């Protein structure tokens, strides 16, 4: 018997959960297949959401109607806004989470979503008719048909776990790997390769002398991720759990170095490429050989557990070596661990084989999302899942594509980087990857993307009404500051108190706000308009203080957008343009860009080649 669905999502990690729920909310009948229903949206590595650029992505997911931000808020242990000492373009929210609550909240949302079914099983085969996907079968023979399949297999495809010289097949520790899918796709012309990631040991905090460690607390007035008017768990509880900072030392380093011969990373056993920006402790010691200490963070995994995550100590060395090294850290002399650190190697598919909709170019109806596209991180995976789910629904309903530009969202930067440039190591998002950071701030994600969510039918009535009310408040406050004026007798005492030059005649409030010493909170106290929500004040202050930068980036984006509007036929043969360099022709034929703008971002395509293309296409 074969059961029919519109869309099948394979894998219930962060990508799969977002893909499934967004597709169902758009009206599709969806099946989510997972190996273990008790591991839905499992935080298999760091128990945290957000961080530099990642926090912006989560805010964008929320603005588009996804659920990662909402689930994070409900499971937050500690909230911090990173980079507050820098400009607002790089302010990034981050939340430490109770990973058990995070998973249970996701499961609750999925199970309560109309049109969404969950099936526990392992998909071992994709079904095709010619070059179109038609469904899946599981290891026990269950068969499901569909118009689209979204594959979000994470680290499970031919996954192999390493601890010292010992290894075992698995997608995560204690969970089976998935075999057959990579081989089947390779037979259909899809290229695969291997990547590696790792995780640190989990620590029993009751065995640590926490009094010797440096405590790291959350923000005194914690914010949250979702733009919905729902309080986060730490806002409701009025408490946050601390993290702790600690450092390695030369004794730790010697213990680790003395057993490098047992490291599968250095012996050549692991062939996959590891993450540059989240290296193992072994990688750190080899790369920064002269450094006498490395910073580690001890992070809680939940409200009601002693299990802590030791950020910065990812390792695949033998268990005994991990124990000895940990016990040489100050405060860790009697440490006990719940499970060791390990490395995992898995299959991924180089993402130049997919389009900006995340559909595989040569296999209609098949979408890739998450780590199988060469990314690392929950946030990057969730964003891809969201976009794959939206585009799968639009395709089966013959409604075109949904693609975000680089000036619209970090999600647009992420996907364009993957599709256009490919990856040669696990891809992680940073603010430095975006050309338009002042446009793509965490505070204005709803202003940028919620109107698109409303058009797609993804925004609830609550989200839409909340957004429209906030936009009205922002406009009202902005207009007041731009049009109304301050008199010298009203503000000069304040200006002198913050070391700012007093005024001799009236000035618009916005003009005063542009001064670096002046804050919007202080000005609103003077005019008795203090009862304005923080998010409204923050957006208005940033827009006024950084107006020149915003306008400059908007002009730059509009200029480059002209190249995006020069389209290239999908079946165009670049070989016939002999004035292109040979490298450019080869790269263009491989990537098959859909616009001159995309072509300009392909490594190996020079400005001279772009000029040739513009002449050829009549521009």
Residue 127 phi/psi, 5° resolution?
Answer: -105, 135
Residues 6+ apart with CB under 8 A from 543: 478, 550
Q: How many CB atoms lie within 10 A of CB 472?
A: 11
Does the pLDDT at position 482 exceed 60?
yes
CATH 1.10.150.570 in the chain, residues? 565-616
The residue among 341, 68, 60 whose CA lies nearest residue 198 is 341
The predicted model gives 594-602 an average pLDDT of 90
Burial 211-247 (b: 16+ CB within 10 A, else e): eebeeeebeeebbbbbbbeeebbbbeeeebbbbbebe
> For residue 65, what are its two tokens?
């109607």
Q: CA dihedral in degrees (553, 555, 561, 563; nearest 10)? A: -110
Overall pTM > 0.85: yes
Contact by Cβ (8 Å): 591, 420: yes
At residue 604, the pLDDT reads 87
The CATH number assigned to the domain with range 464-552 reads 1.10.10.1800
How far, in Å, CA of 522 to CA of 511, rounded? 14
Contact by Cβ (8 Å): 22, 65: yes
pLDDT digits (tens, 9 = 90+) for 107-148: 999 999 999 999 999 999 999 999 999 999 999 999 999 999
Does the pLDDT at position 266 exceed 90?
no
Burial 31-64 (b: 16+ CB within 10 A, else e): bbbbbbeebbbbbbbbbbbbbbbbbbbbbbbbbb
At residue 619, the pLDDT reads 56
At residue 505, the pLDDT reads 94
Does the pLDDT at position 460 exceed 90?
yes
The residue among 571, 560, 577 whose CA lies nearest residue 616 is 577
Asked if CATH classification 3.40.50.2000 holds for the domain at 565-616, the reply, yes or no, is no
CATH 2.40.30.260 in the chain, residues? 202-341
Residues 6+ apart with CB under 8 A from 572: 592
Contact by Cβ (8 Å): 372, 153: yes
The predicted model gives 354-374 an average pLDDT of 97
At residue 531, the pLDDT reads 87
Does the pLDDT at position 277 exceed 80?
no
What is the DSSP pairing of strand 143-145 with strand 2-4?
Answer: parallel
Give the 3-state secondary structure of residue 438.
coil
The predicted model gives 291-296 an average pLDDT of 95
Candidate from 194-198, 373-377, 471-475, 601-605 with smallest mean pLDDT = 601-605
The predicted model gives 263-282 an average pLDDT of 83
Q: How confident is the model at residue 556 (pLDDT cuts 50, 70, 90)?
A: confident
Helical packing angle, 445-456 and 54-63, nearest 10°: 40
At residue 578, the pLDDT reads 87
Q: Decide which of 114 and 563 is more confident.
A: 114
pLDDT digits (tens, 9 = 90+) for 9-61: 999 999 999 999 999 999 999 999 999 999 999 999 999 999 999 999 999 99
pLDDT digits (tens, 9 = 90+) for 64-100: 999 999 999 999 999 999 999 998 999 999 999 999 9
CATH 1.10.10.1800 in the chain, residues? 464-552
- Beta strand ranges found along 539-598 (DSSP E): none
Candidate from 124-133, 268-277, 487-496 with smallest mean pLDDT = 268-277
At residue 565, the pLDDT reads 86
Q: Tell me which residue has tokens 């998010």.
A: 535
> For residue 582, what are its two tokens?
């040979």
Give the 3-state secondary structure of residue 394.
helix
Q: How many CB atoms lie within 10 A of CB 309?
A: 24
Q: How confident is the model at residue 478 (pLDDT cuts 50, 70, 90)?
A: very high
Counted residue by residue, the chain has a size of 619
How far, in Å, CA of 355 to CA of 368, rounded? 10
Burial environment of residue 142 by CB neighbours within 10 A (0 to 12, 13 to 18, 19 or more): middle
358: left (phi > 0), else alpha (psi -120 to 50), else beta?
left
pLDDT digits (tens, 9 = 90+) for 219-232: 999 999 999 999 99
> For residue 228, what are its two tokens?
């919905």
The residue among 446, 461, 450 whose CA lies nearest residue 225 is 446
Cα–Cα–Cα angle for 308, 309, 313, nearest 5°? 135
pLDDT digits (tens, 9 = 90+) for 570-585: 888 998 888 899 888 9
Q: Which of the residue ranges 144-148, 234-238, 434-438, 556-560 has the most confident prediction, judged by mean pLDDT?
A: 144-148
How far, in Å, CA of 36 to CA of 442, rounded? 34
Cα–Cα–Cα angle for 52, 53, 54, nearest 5°? 90
Burial 84-113 (b: 16+ CB within 10 A, else e): eeeebbbbbbbbbbbbbbbbbbbbebbeeb
Give the DSSP letter of residue 502: P
The predicted model gives 305-309 an average pLDDT of 97
Burial environment of residue 497 by CB neighbours within 10 A (0 to 12, 13 to 18, 19 or more): exposed
Helices and strands (H and E) in the chain: how many: 22, 24
Does the pLDDT at position 410 exceed 90?
yes
Residue 197 phi/psi, 5° resolution?
Answer: -140, 180
Give the DSSP letter of residue 474: H
At residue 276, the pLDDT reads 78
The CATH number assigned to the domain with range 202-341 reads 2.40.30.260
The predicted model gives 530-554 an average pLDDT of 92
Does the pLDDT at position 618 exceed 80?
no
Q: How many CB atoms lie within 10 A of CB 118?
A: 18
């Amino acid at each position: 018997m074969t059961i029919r669905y519109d869309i099948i999502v394979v894998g219930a990690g962060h990508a799969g959960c977002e893909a499934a729920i967004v597709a169902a909310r758009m009206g599709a009948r969806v099946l989510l297949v997972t190996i273990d229903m008790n591991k839905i949206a499992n935080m298999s590595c760091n128990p945290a959401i957000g961080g530099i650029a990642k926090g912006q992505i989560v805010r964008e997911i929320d603005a588009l109607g996804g659920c990662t931000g909402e689930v994070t808020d409900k499971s937050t242990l500690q909230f911090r806004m990173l980079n507050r000492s820098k400009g607002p373009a790089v302010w990034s929210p981050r939340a430490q989470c109770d990973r058990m609550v995070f998973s249970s909240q996701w499961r609750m949302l999925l199970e309560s979503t109309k049109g969404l079914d969950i099936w526990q099983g392992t998909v071992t085969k994709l079904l095709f008719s010619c070059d179109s996907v038609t469904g899946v079968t599981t290891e026990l023979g269950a068969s499901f048909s569909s118009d689209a399949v979204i594959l979000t297999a994470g680290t499970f495809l031919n996954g192999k776990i390493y601890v010292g010289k010992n290894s075992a097949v698995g997608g995560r520790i204690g969970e089976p790997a998935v075999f057959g899918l990579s081989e089947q796709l390779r037979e259909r012309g899809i290229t695969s390769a291997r990547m590696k990631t790792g995780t640190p040991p989990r620590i029993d905090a009751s065995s640590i002398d926490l009094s010797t460690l440096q405590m790291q607390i959350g923000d005194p007035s914690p914010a949250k991720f979702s733009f919905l008017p729902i309080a986060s768990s730490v806002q409701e509880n009025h408490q946050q759990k601390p993290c702790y900072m600690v450092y390695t030392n030369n004794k730790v380093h010697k213990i680790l170095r003395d057993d490098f011969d047992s490291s599968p990373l250095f012996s050549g056993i692991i062939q996959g490429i590891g993450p540059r920006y989240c290296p193992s402790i072994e990688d750190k010691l080899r790369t920064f050989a002269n450094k006498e200490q490395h910073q580690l963070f001890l992070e809680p995994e939940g409200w009601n557990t002693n299990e802590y995550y030791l950020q910065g100590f990812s390792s695949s060395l033998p268990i005994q070596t991990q124990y000895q090294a940990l016990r040489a850290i100050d405060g860790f002399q009697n440490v006990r661990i719940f499970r060791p650190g390990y490395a995992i190697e898995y299959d991924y598919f180089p993402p130049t084989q997919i389009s900006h909709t995340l559909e595989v170019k040569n296999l209609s109806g098949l979408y890739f999302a998450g780590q199988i596209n060469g990314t690392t991180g929950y946030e990057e995976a969730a964003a891809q899942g969201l976009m794959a789910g939206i585009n799968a629904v639009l395709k089966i309903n013959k409604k075109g594509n949904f693609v975000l530009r680089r000036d619209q969202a970090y999600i647009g930067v992420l996907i364009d980087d993957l599709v256009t440039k490919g990856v040669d190591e696990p891809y992680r998002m940073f603010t430095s990857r975006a050309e338009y950071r002042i446009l793509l701030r965490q505070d204005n994600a709803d202003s940028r993307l919620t109107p698109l969510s409303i058009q797609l039918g993804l925004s609830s009535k609550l989200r839409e009404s909340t957004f429209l009310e906030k936009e009205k408040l922002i406009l009202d406050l902005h207009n007041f500051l731009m049009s109304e004026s301050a008199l010298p007798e009203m503000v000069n005492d304040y200006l002198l108190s913050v070391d700012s030059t007093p005024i001799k005649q009236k000035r618009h409030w916005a003009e005063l706000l542009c001064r670096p010493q002046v804050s919007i909170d202080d000005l609103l106290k003077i005019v008795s308009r203090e009862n304005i929500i923080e998010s409204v004040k923050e957006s208005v202050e940033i827009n006024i203080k950084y107006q020149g930068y915003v306008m400059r980036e908007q002009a730059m984006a509009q200029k480059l957008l002209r190249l995006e509007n020069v389209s290239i036929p999908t079946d165009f043969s670049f070989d016939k343009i002999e004035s292109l360099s040979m490298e450019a022709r080869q790269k263009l034929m491989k990537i098959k860009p859909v616009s001159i703008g995309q072509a300009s971002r392909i490594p190996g395509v020079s400005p001279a080649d772009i000029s040739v293309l513009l002449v050829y296409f009549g521009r």
